[in-house]
Chain A
């Protein structure tokens, strides 16, 4: 079951550059929330703050509060937090030294699970959820790199799901994929939201329109507007949102 996320007055710096200027946002559980906005608006930074990946880069700073399931994420071990909040990256990044099977169970196995039965059932379950099982079930010990781009991304999704997070962060997951692979990923996201809270960063507004329950528009490090997707796209409250949506800038 998904979790609620509360973001309170979140500020973030990259060096001396302030990339997030005080974000306040409530993210509904079992929802797909799309984050849209022009390049450099801070949407990737925002999402990377939620699983505390932003801090792994040198020269970064974060202030503010993010509450997950009633607890501040900054009061926890970031490593443990990241088992609750999974992430899928813009470019698929399966581990090159591992097979498909090893990739899927990497998160669980490297954190201590040894039982072969358990691992195999987790692998199958995750690959089915990622709609990849049928395509790879006969070649699980092939290298992860032997798959196509779209398949690799679904492998990464399966890998993220195997850890059983409650929140799934997706940073432009389909931007490097062709339209058909994109379609598969979008279909997958629709199915996943039943059990996960999903945040998806996208520069593709039509995609947001297709799959997101609510959409948030970021501009220059600020959250301009956040609401149900249909409203944002047909009747935005803020002029800046309207300008972006109608393509006056991008």
Chain B
């Protein structure tokens, strides 16, 4: 009897525990390793240009002058434009789906919204080149120039490609992210809050405004930040419609360049070390910004929805 009952954890059990532990640690190692790789490859550029890299306006590989400001500008403008459009619409979609739609509608329309996130970036880019840009050039931008041309944002020759196109396409791409997270945090609002408002005689909209939104506010902010993070890093669709010119111009009609786009276009053309290093440094800046943004965004989302969430959409 005693032989069978000896204190012994089986080999198989120990192996599984060790294996899973190893895999978990490797994820940690992967993150650190990636950060270090980026830093290491960007080091020559960091050492040569220092902080001036971020405010440098000139990007001239021929003269070995590298300044990242045009790309930072292009990235920020298109992303902020995308946010301005996608945040209210995304929130509106989330409110419609969670608080208004019947369950069948919710499943079907919810699925469609998720499909927006599933379409690959390059396909959006293709559509952007052949459908969106011509439409902007022929209809929207002339219209904006006619009615709002006194604002410097809407001046200049419409060519379709440019920051407006970039911002619009990004808005479409980040909308599902904002909608999904808003839905999640709004669903985490306890029903009791809703019922309390309704019991006091509030209309549906008043209930949403008074009971749901304030409770979910920080989570929704978090969702918007995550959407911003996604917009900052989007590569293909942006590079296909933004015009790819490292200029810093005020008008949304003008072409520009984003951080991810210049990396995508020039990486394989980087013929010497400093060039490559400068491109990697742009990537490092991008990495850093999205990391910080994601970190704070998650804290906001967790504070409402309690626990890491986000599934496959982020």
Contact = CB atoms under 8 A, between A and B. Distances in A.
Contact of B7 (A69, A71, A77): A77
Nearest to B10: A79
A71 B4 contact: no
Contacts of A57: none
A77 B8 CA distance: 6
B1 interface: yes
Interface string B1-19: 1101111111000000000
Task: Select the residue from B1, B2, B9 with max chain A CB neighbours within 10 A.
Answer: B1
Task: Select the residue from A71, A75, A76, A81 with max chain B CB neighbours within 10 A.
Answer: A76
A110 B6 CA distance: 19
A71 B6 contact: no
A80 B4 CA distance: 7
Interface in B241-265: none
Contacts of A69: 1
B14 to A, nearest CB: 13
A75 B5 CA distance: 8
A71 B2 contact: yes
Contacts of A71: 1-2, 5
Contacts of B10: 79
Contacts of B9: 77
A219 to B, nearest CB: 34
A79 B9 CA distance: 9
A71 B7 CA distance: 13
Nearest to B4: A80
Contacts of B2: 71
Nearest to A80: B5
Contacts of B1: 69, 71
Contacts of A75: 5, 7
Interface of B: 1-2, 4-10
17 contacts: A69-B1, A71-B1, A71-B2, A71-B5, A75-B5, A75-B7, A76-B5, A76-B6, A76-B7, A77-B5, A77-B6, A77-B7, A77-B8, A79-B10, A80-B4, A80-B5, A81-B5
The 5 tightest CB contacts between A and B, nearest first, are A76-B5, A80-B5, A77-B7, A77-B8, A80-B4
